Amino acid sequence: MAWKLVPVGQNGTITFMKKNIFLTGAPSSGKTTTIKKVIKILTVPVTGFYTEEERREGKRVGFVLNSLDGHKGYLAHQDIRSDLHIRRYGVSIENIESIAVPSITPVSGQIIILDEIGKMECFSEVFRQAALKALDSPSIVIGTITLGGAEFIATVKTREDMEILEVTPDNRDALPQVIVRKIEELLRII
């Protein structure tokens, strides 16, 4: 099911409740921080991954994939030798496919965290297919998606079952509670 019809309002009007809730925003806007706060607040089973920057002496040197079941590895790093690069970072397709992909496989009764659908992750066809499988599943998916993006990312953004919220300095502190309320409402109707 891509979305649910939910009666809302006192007059019994019908509206669409979207089960894929994604954050977008400028780099360092707080997307992953918001996702990590949502994970801490949730009291239901969660699977998936999030990505964090790795810094040395105050400078970013790479990005680390962290699955919620404890697996960890570089998404990209300035020291990775790869044919696939974003700026100075070599991208590890192997880690995307061995850490991120299994973590977003839908499991009945679990919310999926998908941080993020971005340029690096989308170098992997296996990841793109796994992301679509997660989005198409009955599971609630909470994630992040890059502001720009090529054809695949643009197509994902236009899905009818996607709600995309932009993270800004004005709303980033309130967003974790907003997302958790949306999840709670979805869980009541699923």
Domain map (residue ranges) of the chain? 3-51+102-189
Q: What is the pTM of this model?
A: 0.90
For the CA atoms of 119, 31, 102, 81, what is the dihedral angle to 10 degrees? 40
pLDDT of residue 148: 85
pLDDT of residue 11: 57
pLDDT of residue 37: 96
pLDDT of residue 33: 95
The pairing of beta strand 59-67 with beta strand 46-56: antiparallel
> CA 23 to CA 71: how far, in whole Å?
23
**Residue 56, SS3?**
strand
> CA 87 to CA 85: how far, in whole Å?
6
**Which run of H or of E encompasses 128?**
helix 125-136
Share of the chain above pLDDT 70, in %: 91
* CA 36, chain centre distance (Å): 11
Q: Which residues contact 167 (CB under 8 A, 6 or more apart)?
A: 23, 24, 25, 29, 30, 31, 34, 175
Q: Which fold has domain 3-51+102-189?
A: Rossmann fold (3.40.50)
Given a cut of 70, the residues of the chain with pLDDT beneath it are 1-16, 190
Size of the chain in residues: 190
